[in-house]
Amino acid sequence: MALQPYASSLEKTWYYTFRVFCGLVFFFLIVPILVIIPLSFNSEPYFTYPMPGFSLRWYNSIFGDDPQAILWQRAIWNSVVIGVSATMLATTLGTLAALGLTRANFTGKRVMMAILISPIVVPVVITAVGMFYFYAQIGLASTLTGLVLAHTALGVPFVVITVTATLIGFDNNLVRAGAVLGADPVRVFFKVTLPLILPGVVSGALFAFVTSWDEIIVALFLASPAQHTIPRRMWSGIRELISPTITAAATMLIALSIVLMVIMEMLRRRGERLRGITH
């Protein structure tokens, strides 16, 4: 919001003070990222400045053919498989739950919504302990399936929230019109409902993927050595041997996060245009 020309001295002071304060907070949050990225190209195994030179040796430590690189590659593959699988499950289940909660009125609706979004509210360590004891009893602990299901449970709330927010502005007359024209409910969903709520569905899927990709606490409890994800591998590297390879992995995670944020912003703007919201 621009400063009005008739603003008083106090309003001008607050206007600039608030922006300076926000800039300092943003600087405080972004500096660690700006420090890590150049260090991933350091030619020497140091975490200090100035750097003696630039090199890709730490990226080669991830994508090379030595034993440590193979461990990193396996962790990347595990993260991709678990993240994609959990995202598909969370998106499907979360979208169906959002549709049911939005269109139906029944006793206990608020309780059901609270249960669905509880993984966001409950500390992850408590969720991880509960999952570990439950999965141990049914034989899913230290299995890839158990990790996928655990990450799905963590991702469903994000899909439910984003899809529910999209459905708030949805015109149900379009669904009725499709039914009047002779389309069955499944056809109406895929031809009418899904295209209109697709930005919210994709945004929820991206949130679920990021949650799975960045999750470490559940992996600490449930993952076996053969199922280490990238965050779990980074955690092991920090505890056992501090290597600049970790900065290379962190830089790749930062780059992926930036790409996903850009995609989500594009989807948000597209959703606003579909709902007729202009700035």
Tokens of 157: 């709330």
User: Which residues make beta-bridge pairs with 42?
Assistant: 54
Q: pTM for this structure? A: 0.82
Binned at pLDDT 50, 70 and 90, residue 1 comes out as low
Higher pLDDT among residues 26 and 265, named by residue: 26
Domain parsing of the chain, residue ranges: 70-274
Residue-level pLDDT at 50: 81
Task: Please give the distance of CA 134 from its chain centroid, rounded to a whole number.
Answer: 25
182: left (phi over 0), alpha (psi -120 to 50) or beta: left
Query: CB of 129 within 8 A of CB of 221?
Result: yes
Q: What percent of the chain has pLDDT above 70?
A: 94
pLDDT digits over 37-62, tens only? 888 888 887 777 787 888 888 888 88
pLDDT digits over 214-244, tens only? 888 998 888 888 888 888 888 887 776 677 8
pLDDT at 177 over 80: yes
What does the H/E/C string look like for 197-246?
A: HHHHHHHHHHHHHHHHHHCCHHHHHHCCHHHCCHHHHHHHHHHHCCCCHH
Tokens of 217: 């606490």
Rounded to 10 degrees, what is the CA torsion of 11, 15, 18, 23? -170
Options 3.40.50.2300, 3.40.1390.30, 1.10.3720.10, 1.20.1270.10; CATH of 70-274: 1.10.3720.10
pLDDT digits over 95-137, tens only? 999 888 887 777 778 888 888 888 888 888 999 999 999 998 9
Under 8 Å CB-to-CB from 149, ≥6 apart: which residues?
86, 89, 140
Task: Please give the distance of CA 270 from its chain centroid, rounded to a whole number.
Answer: 20
Query: CB of 243 within 8 A of CB of 60?
Result: no
